[in-house]
Amino acid sequence: MIEIKQVRKSYGSLEVLKGIDLTIDKGEVVAMIGPSGSGKSTLLQCINGLETISSGEIIVDGVSVFDKATNLNHLRRKLGIVFQSYNAFPHMTVRRNVTLALTKVLGVSRDQANAIAETQLQRVGLLAKADVYPTALSGGQQQRLGIARALAMGPSYMLFDEVTSALDPELVAEVLATLRQLSAEGMTMILVTHEMQFAREVADRVVFFHEGVIAESGPPEQIFGNPKSERLRAFVSRAG
């Protein structure tokens, strides 16, 4: 379970998160939507401590992320993250991209890491590309590599930060198919997304961010079918 309690964050005098409360249960798929700059990506990266917070608390399976005694590197093994920019390591083959952290962070043997990498690459349909360098991959393939790399660590939670935003429209579908498959397998996922149709389809709960606060949240039918606030209504009709 991920518990976000009264989280605030400022960049200088600009407050981007103004007291967020949100709890995500095991097995849930939560979609965070909202206009650019509303704070949703920032919050996502706070969950695994890549961004710091100004006040409040985030607790992952009973461990406080920003407690000084918490080993963040250790905690991050539980929290797979995939970014908008694909972030494949360009100097390593696709296979090595997946095995690097397995061997160096988890201490898995080379053989075992290779076996895990092959399973995960198979899962995202990239096994045939295992021994090429990421530059030889399309954007969609690089993004699926990012997903396989994160999944290989055996996380309990997956964080997706606008993973389709940098993709050409024709490549979005293949990445969404991978996410859909993950949700069907029962993975706990938090998605920051601009794909409203997709959020409506896979999310158990949709959270609407506006100017650093959660303006509205609920099941997708309610958020998209019967938005309460004028803001959300406007956002949903614009985003279509």
Partner 1 sequence: MPPDMFASGIAPQDYWLMAEGAWRTILMTLSAGVLATLLGVALGLLKLMPWRGLRHLLDTVTDSLRCVPLLVQVTLIYSGLAVLGFRIGAFTAGMVALGLFAAGYISEVVREAAQAVPGNLRRAARGLGMTRFQEYWYVVLPLGIRQGFPSWLGIILGIVKDTSVVAVIGYVELLRATQNIITRTQDPLPLLSLAAVFYFLICFPLSMLGRRLEHMMNGGAVR
Binding to partner 1 by residue 190, rule CB under 8 A? no
81 binds partner 1 (CB under 8 A): yes
The residue among 101 and 173 lying less far from partner 1, judged by its C-beta, is: 101
Minimum gap (Å) between residue 231 Cβ and partner 1: 31
Q: Compute the residue count for the chain.
A: 240
Neighbours of 159 (CB within 10 A): 24
Q: Are strands 29-33 and 205-210 parallel, antiparallel or unpaired?
A: parallel
Query: Strand ranges (DSSP E) for 162-212?
Result: 188-192, 205-210
Nearer to partner 1, 8 or 77 (CB): 77
3 state SS of 43: helix
> Nearer Cβ to partner 1, position 103 or 222?
103
74 binds partner 1 (CB under 8 A): yes
Verify binding: residue 213, partner 1, rule CB under 8 A: no
100 binds partner 1 (CB under 8 A): yes
**The only residue of 3, 10, 19, 50 in contact with partner 1, by rule CB under 8 A:** 50
Contact residue for partner 1 among 13, 36, 73, 237 (CB under 8 A): 73
First CA to last CA distance, the chain: 31
CB of 195: closest distance to partner 1 in angstroms? 21
Query: Using the rule CB under 8 A, is 238 a contact of partner 1?
Result: no
| Helix locations, the chain, DSSP H | 40-47, 72-75, 94-104, 110-123, 139-151, 169-184, 196-202, 220, 230-239
**Identified binder of partner 1 from the candidate list 6, 25, 105, 154, rule CB under 8 A:** 105
CA distances from 89 to 96, 100, 106 (A): 9, 10, 18
The residues that touch partner 1, with contacts defined as CB under 8 A, are: 48, 50, 73-74, 76-77, 81, 83, 85, 87, 89-92, 100-101, 104-106, 132-133, 135, 146, 149-150, 153
